[in-house]
Chains A and B, each alone.
Chain A
């Protein structure tokens, strides 16, 4: 399901890295004088590149305006007389920012940028639109190590495979709805979503597709049309006239085809793969465990399984990268993924009604059972939240 917060945060984001942290032992986020050595804090690693920004009262000088994709640290120095702030914009969207940079002080601002055009804005006096400098981020592949490229390629292939496999399933769902065969359409509903659920963070990165395809009725804004899977779900389980939603099914089919076509151009980095895995478990924690995702069909456990499988795939392709720097994280995640899969297994139900998609209906799962599921999900999610940083070389 689309979340408003995520729509604002398509890119994995970075925050500031405090300056001179390791060199002088200052442990709080305090500006350092520019006369002191502005060493990077050492937390960064891997392909992290540093780009100087000289922010003065009249200029916003970015040392390098053509950047490779991946993690970049902007080393900002306020060479002016006013307190300033520096933003990185993607169109109107703030990718990252640092406020309150005093005259003569410096800050490091670390961000993971995917391919695209951005603007750096310096705002002396912290007012107005600021002095803008366009920057372009290209590819990213050229800067990846061989192991990182292997991971990105493997994950892209997985996403492509999942997206491709979804097309015929949605075609069948659409055909059953068009034929007015409710029972058959119900049995095809949950399976048609598995591919989507396993690669949802990539699909969401396209921005426009997710709200059309996966919005829940409760999340509609005034005037927003209710479309996508959950519109079909409601029609199928609430005994609505199916002929009325054939156009919705037609559009969904077009959308899944578009998704499959756009995967080759999706911005994928080791960091985004790792963060995507965390986001999939966030989906489980906030949507599936609560039973909110599939309010009519109660096929939440099918989505749950798709989310976990997608996250596990992300972890697997990143494992060679993370293994060296943080072997304990790999061991822990291996253990906790197995625990979640084991906790989910007893709910598999191949003999149940076809409409259940291979798992028991979630309205039969008791509060106590949901709590047990929540616990294993929490146990996985906490270490999984470290994977994105580890994959970006910040192990």
Chain B
């Protein structure tokens, strides 16, 4: 077809899709009303049209995703429920791909901020279910208007997409009357030795972590939320990640980071609810007064950790293992045979990464790590601009990330190969109940 005519989305050959789109179509107004957002303001216009839920991506049609029977576990149309006590995307089996984005809120009124989060919720409900957003979706809308859905995820199904949203310290300034609601645990991270942070790609009023088993599904989600946010929030910085560098499934093989070592061996299991309550989810009593909204939420620390890949690769196997504290092959603690063998961290080299990060040396603090590898081309010198995009969820950063990173930055032999180039901390909203919206616990008070 001719460039720019924009007429045929290529779906003309789809022949069996109609039946796959059950009566899930919800009008924009109906959906937003159902969300308790009757008073949607002028800020919704145009962009807000995107936020309604519409038709399915016809998971049983076309077969283009090649997933066999997608209704079986692990298929590309597998859906992670959006609603629940906690947000999905934390104690969720780690998906293969990440698109993370931090936003500056440009809206100046609390009503517009609320409307944004309501619109994001409506879109997130549709996206995580593998549906197109907005009236008419990608190809059935008003022919003279831009399509509501950008279309690149049509036929790609849900792919276990999760969208996880949090509020950064800057959201609690004077703009929206939220300063009293800032949790005590949402501290500004201190400067750590050897930080090389780039301010333009650090922090942010809001963060969205999009994880999916297909990279395009994750990118589509962030693109869609960005479009919906126009006039109310703008992307401050973003990061793509691949090759999950952690797992929360103790039965799954532990993934490897770009140093070639298994990463996340000691991660809490998603099934270990006692540890999650103790280490990840904010508990009743942790915060009081206006800040108690965060109960059921968590705290996310994101760090873009550039790895000096080339110098690492020139390091002997023995030294690599001494630096990490585990064997490269099996991932066993040095002196042991199996990855999951119990060990005394004091038997590992004093400056080894695993020893310094071990809970017994950090007051028992653990984090749920959910990082991804990244490769952003080269640095202009012919070296890979690559590393680990570290994502860690925890109940209190003052007891977990800050002391652990303080120890690592001072003593970790691995630091020689690392450079932290971006950083942020966010209070992750509690889960969204059916009919609720992201951040409602914070903003409805």
Binding site for B on A (CB under 8 A): 5-6, 8-9, 12-18, 21, 24-31, 41, 43-44, 71, 93-102, 109-110, 112, 271, 326, 328-329, 331-332, 335-336, 375, 378-386, 388-390, 392, 394
The one of A30, A332, A378, A385 in contact with B43, judged by C-beta atoms closer than 8 angstroms, is A332
CB distance from A106 to the nearest CB of B (A): 12
> Are B21 and A28 interface neighbours, CB within 8 A?
yes
Of B4, B8, B49, B145, which one neighbours A98 at CB under 8 angstroms? B8
Bound Cα distance A331, B48 (Å): 14
- B7 within 8 Å of A (CB atoms): yes
Of A29, A109, A110, A375, most B-chain CB atoms within 10 Å = A29
Q: List 9 A-B contacts (CB under 8 A).
A: A5-B3, A27-B56, A29-B139, A30-B11, A331-B42, A335-B42, A379-B230, A386-B46, A386-B145
8 Å CB contact of A8 from B4, B21, B141: B4
Q: Could you tell me the distance between the alpha carbons of A110 and B144 in the complex, rounded to whole angstroms?
A: 8
B253 contacts chain A at the CB level, 8 A cutoff: no
Are B18's CB and A96's CB within 8 A? no
Q: How far is the CA of A96 from the CA of B1 in the complex (A)?
A: 9
The distance in angstroms between the C-alpha atoms of A375 and B107, with both chains bound, is: 12
Contact B106 A375 (CB under 8 A): yes
Does chain A have a CB within 8 A of B183? Answer: no
Residue B255 at the chain A interface, CB threshold 8 Å: no
Known: A98-B8, A101-B12, A332-B231. Contact between A14 and B144, CB under 8 A? Answer: yes
Docked pose: A366 CA to B16 CA in angstroms: 53
Taking the nearest CB of chain B, how far is it from the CB of A22, in angstroms?
10
Bound-state CA distance A385–B49 (Å) is 12
Please state if A27 and B106 are interface contacts (CB–CB under 8 Å).
no
**Which of A99, A271, A331 contacts B45 (CB under 8 A)?**
A331
Chain B residue with the shortest CB-CB distance to A43: B142
Cβ contact within 8 Å between A379 and B231: yes
Q: Which residues of A contact B140 (CB under 8 A)?
A: 17-18, 21, 27-29, 41
Q: How far is the CA of A95 from the CA of B143 in the complex (A)?
A: 14
In this assembly, does B44 line the interface, its C-beta being within 8 Å of a C-beta of chain A? yes
Task: Map CB proximity to A onto B38-61 as digits: 1 under 8 Å, 0 otherwise.
Answer: 000011111101000011101001
Q: Residue B15 at the A interface, CB < 8 A?
A: yes
Q: Please measure, in the bound complex, the distance between the C-alpha atom of A9 and the C-alpha atom of B23, giving whole angstroms.
A: 37
Contact of A27 with B21 in the complex, beta carbons under 8 Å? yes
Q: Least Cβ distance of B146 to chain A in Å?
A: 5
Q: Are A43 and B141 in contact (CB under 8 A)?
A: yes
Say whether B144 contacts A16, CB under 8 Å.
Answer: no
Contact of A13 among B4, B11, B15 (CB under 8 A): B4
Measured between C-beta atoms, what is the minimum distance from A3 to chain B in Å? 10
B14 at the interface (CB under 8 A from A): yes
Q: Closest approach, in angstroms, between the C-beta of A352 and any C-beta of chain B?
A: 28
Min CB distance B141 to A, Å, is 7
From A28, A94, A97, A379, give the contact of B18 (CB < 8 A). A28
B136 at the A interface (CB under 8 A)? yes
Contacts of A389 in B (CB 8 A): 142, 144-145
- What residues on A are CB-neighbors of B49 within 8 Å? 386
A25, A102, A112 interface centre (most CB from chain B within 10 Å): A25
Q: B275 — which chain A residues lie within 8 A by C-beta?
A: none
Which residues of A lie under 8 Å from residue B146 when comparing CB positions?
Answer: 385-386
Determine if B71 is an interface residue (Cβ-Cβ < 8 Å): no
The verdict on A109 contacting B4 (CB below 8 Å), with A14-B144, A331-B45 known, is no
